A and B are shown apart, each in its own frame.
Chain A
Amino acid sequence: MTRRVATLVFGVSFFASAWSLTSRAMADVLAADPQATAGGLPRIDWGAVRVSGYAQADWVMFRQSSQDEVSTAGEPLNENRFTLASARLRATVDHGLVTGMFEIDANTVHGPQVRPTDAEITLRWPARAPRAGEAYFQATMGLLRTPFGFDTQEVAQRRPFLSRSLFSEALFPGSYDLGLALRGGYRFFNYSLGIMNGDPIGERAFPGRDPNQSKDLVFRLGVESSRASHVRVEAGFSGLTGGGFHEGTPTTKDVFVWRDVNEDGVVDPTEIQVIAGTAATPSERFPRFALGGDLRLSADIPWLGELSVRGEVVRAKNLDRGLQAADPVVAGRDLREVGYYVDVLQEVTPYAIVGVRYDRYNPDADKSEQAGLRPVARDPSFSTFSVMAAARFKGALVARGPGGAPLAMPDLGAPRVFYPARCIVQYDHRTNALGRDASGAPTTLADDSFTVRAEVSF
């Protein structure tokens, strides 16, 4: 009931804001151009469609878990290969008050596929990209980035590492989800509020669909120091609350099974058994939430360039949708997830950057298992220590307002800094609990990798 009321309040406030903004913006247009109402219809200067995109090609030169085999599902297990990690084509249109974007992604990660990744319709004020410190407001609906934390929302062309952190991939697989988001800010403060389906496009069970009526409410409240400061600070606090979906089962029929009790490979009448069918079980909804914080510190180092230290931590419940999908109905208990990462990046002239990142994700903080006679706590955490180096061409700031003033926010999701081309090498040292040592205890299944990525943006 509380959630429905919150959803209702959210929706009403959105449309009220949208109506108010529309009225105000149209009044501005009419005041500025008396001819705009010629013929009784407002005349709008339609902006041109802008096309942009990027391509990322990876060469995994080695990966320890790679095998020349196929899985039981028929998927190849070789990872030492060339891959089109992502090739995206984006079309954006700017009508001033209203902007739109459509982006499609092509990749060969799991075989050739083309899919929509971003489709947004945005109502904004002011009817242009805001200047630094200027108040702004956006209402966006469509397929958009889940407004949680920093890593989930970071633009791929700016991300120095090859992939997002583990917890971000697990909790927000694919980053994009269908929903409605309100974004805004003034001076050092910014905020994002979203109401989302709760089934991101990278989810395992129902990607891009929503099997239940419950919606996820997501927010991020952030502060950001002036870009002119010597030491720049960005920080945010995020939260999510919503409901997950446990899939019910249909009625099953009685079936015959053969159990080769005497192991002679021949069917004997006594080896035929009947497994009685079962009645259907209903689907269930379960609660889930997440809280997170992110912090970025950056400063300019003479002769080198920007040094930045970034970190993010998340505590969640029943939210894993990408790595080990959380289903508390099956598990019989809530599944608590904990994740964090810390990275340090140093620009080495405008043309290179080096960095290290440590990220760790525990999909089930309460996991235990039987070890002989005793149940013992087990840590199923995944962690990755990454070392990267990148060479790049650094382009000019693309998001500048009139007079060349830096803008306070990305223009339709485009990066603040444009890198026409990058070459990234990255070594990932992974630990996990997927293997077993001789004593039967979980141990790391060797999975280190070395990857080279070539990227071009336009």
Chain B
Amino acid sequence: MKHRRHECARETGLPGALRRFGWMAAVSTFLVASCDAATADRGLDARLRVDGAQFFRGAMPSSEEGGPAVVAVSLRTNEIRAGTHDKSCTGALAREATSAAIGLSGDVGYWVIPAGSPAVETPNLPSFQATLAFPPSLPSGTYALTVRAVDGAGHFGLPMDRTLSTANTDDAVRTAELAVSLQWDTEVDLDLHVVDPRGVEIWKRNINSYEPAPGEPVDPEGWKTGGILDFDSNAACVIDGRRRENVIWKSAPPAGHYVVRVDTFLLCQASTARFRIDVTQRGASLGSAEGMSTEVDTQYSHDRGAGVLALEFDVP
């Protein structure tokens, strides 16, 4: 508990003069007592967030002899996406456990969630159910998700780790043969439109530019050769926090002239939004552009061919 008291003194932000006054007024005992309490820190700067759990800043305490074990940890997938807010994590704990501590490697703190009633598959063991969230700024890489059981006396048991990896769009953009990226600064619904040299427009209702030549059969693998829109971010103002859309060619793109447009579908109660277009070919920049969306931009068509011209470029 020593580290927590130190942390509390720092977090109260109590001015020095006032603190001295507090001592003189003989109320400082209350301050010390309150430092044993949990803090209201919501851990919004942490890479891992757990809905409804108590956040503890700092590393998890070391394992202690007699601490309960984690019996099972279940995740739907080991992939995580930056900005995800509802990744399910469930599991079972040893009988004497009363809570589960959950943390991510290299994070600023960890979370504690009370153990609940036994699950159907483990009828004699307490269970835990956590909803995990990750910030949109989560760097790409591999993380260890650590779960430890804690008993009523606060003893931490041995950890059970699960490896999580981010499906990071930065990597896909960097290694793409050709990538057109749209990013913006506020939670609005912008749509990326890219017209390739053949006149095929890639946008949210046509997310792949592959089209078989007239008279030829459809190649089942042909879609991989086209430019692909990865995501319709903040669609209809359902905010996902990404604020980014990419059209990516993993194989050689058609040579010729490309047109990039940005359609302001909805401003989601924002007044304006600034956006940026970046075009890269195998990681090298082919061009960029910046612009601003206003309410006027939402009043035009949002169909094929919509949007303001943001950038034109040629691929040799």
Write the residues of chain A forming the contact surface with B, with a CB cutoff of 8 angstroms. Answer: 61-62, 64-67, 69, 77, 80, 260-266, 369-373, 385, 387, 389, 427, 429-431, 435-441, 443-448, 450
Is the CB–CB distance between A264 and B38 below 8 Å?
no
Is the CB–CB distance between B81 and A263 below 8 Å?
yes
B13-57: CB near A (< 8 Å → 1, else 0) gives 111001000100101001101111111111010000000011010
B162 at the interface (CB under 8 A from A): no
Bound-state CA distance A431–B203 (Å) is 55
A453 to chain B, nearest CB (A): 16
Is the CB–CB distance between A372 and B96 below 8 Å?
yes
Question: Chain B residues near A65 (CB, 8 Å)?
Answer: 40
B76 at the interface (CB under 8 A from A): yes
Question: Chain A residues near B152 (CB, 8 Å)?
Answer: 371-372, 439, 441
Spot the interface stretch: B114-122, B272-280, B283-291. B114-122
Contact of B40 among A64, A260, A265 (CB under 8 A): A64
Question: Chain A residues near B76 (CB, 8 Å)?
Answer: 261-263
Question: Chain B residues near A265 (CB, 8 Å)?
Answer: 81, 84, 231, 240
Is the CB–CB distance between A429 and B33 below 8 Å?
yes
B282 at the interface (CB under 8 A from A): no
Is the CB–CB distance between B34 and A429 below 8 Å?
yes
B80 to chain A, nearest CB (A): 8
Is the CB–CB distance between B77 and A262 below 8 Å?
yes
Q: Which residues 126-166 in B have Cβ within 8 Å of A in the complex?
A: 126, 150-154, 156
Is the CB–CB distance between B98 and A440 below 8 Å?
yes
Is the CB–CB distance between A440 and B99 below 8 Å?
yes
Bound-state CA distance A339–B312 (Å) is 71
Question: Chain B residues near A438 (CB, 8 Å)?
Answer: 56, 61, 99, 101, 112, 150, 154, 156
Is the CB–CB distance between B42 and A439 below 8 Å?
no
B86 at the interface (CB under 8 A from A): yes
Question: Chain A residues near B87 (CB, 8 Å)?
Answer: 263
Q: How large is the interface on B (under 10, 10 to 19, 20 to 34, 35 or more residues)?
A: 35 or more
Question: Chain A residues near B79 (CB, 8 Å)?
Answer: 263-264
Q: Which residue of A lies closest to B61 (CB)?
A: A438
Q: Which of A266, A371, A385 has the most chain B CB atoms inside 10 A of its CB?
A: A371
Is the CB–CB distance between B13 and A446 below 8 Å?
no
Q: Which residues 81-133 in B have Cβ within 8 Å of A in the complex?
A: 81, 84, 86-87, 93, 95-101, 112-118, 124-126
Q: Contacts A64-B40, A369-B114, A370-B116 hold; do A440 and B150 have CB atoms under 8 A apart?
A: yes
Write the residues of chain B forming the contact surface with A, with a CB cutoff of 8 angstroms. Answer: 8, 11-15, 18, 22, 25, 27, 30-31, 33-42, 44, 53-54, 56, 61, 76-77, 79-81, 84, 86-87, 93, 95-101, 112-118, 124-126, 150-154, 156, 167, 231, 240
Number of A-B pairs whose CB atoms are under 8 Å? 147
Contact of B37 among A371, A373, A439, A443 (CB under 8 A): A443
Bound-state CA distance A371–B54 (Å) is 15
Question: Chain B residues near A436 (CB, 8 Å)?
Answer: 38, 53-54, 99, 112-114
Contact of A435 among B30, B38, B113 (CB under 8 A): B38
Contact of A440 among B18, B39, B112, B240 (CB under 8 A): B112
Is the CB–CB distance between A64 and B39 below 8 Å?
yes
Q: Which residue of B lies closest to A440 (CB)?
A: B99
Q: Which residue of B lies closest to A387 (CB)?
A: B27
Q: Contacts A372-B98, A440-B114 hold; do A446 and B40 have CB atoms under 8 A apart?
A: yes
Is the CB–CB distance between B154 and A439 below 8 Å?
yes
Question: Chain B residues near A373 (CB, 8 Å)?
Answer: 95, 117-118, 124-126
Is the CB–CB distance between B37 and A445 below 8 Å?
yes
B5 to chain A, nearest CB (A): 11
Question: Chain A residues near B112 (CB, 8 Å)?
Answer: 436-438, 440
Is the CB–CB distance between A437 and B38 below 8 Å?
yes
Is the CB–CB distance between B126 and A372 below 8 Å?
yes
Q: Which residue of A lies closest to B207 (CB)?
A: A266
Question: Chain A residues near B34 (CB, 8 Å)?
Answer: 64, 429-430, 444, 446-448
Bound-state CA distance A447–B12 (Å) is 10
Question: Chain B residues near A62 (CB, 8 Å)?
Answer: 12-15, 18
Bound-state CA distance A448–B22 (Å) is 12
B36 to chain A, nearest CB (A): 8
Contact of A263 among B33, B77, B101 (CB under 8 A): B77
Question: Chain A residues near B11 (CB, 8 Å)?
Answer: 64
Question: Chain B residues near A447 (CB, 8 Å)?
Answer: 34, 37, 40
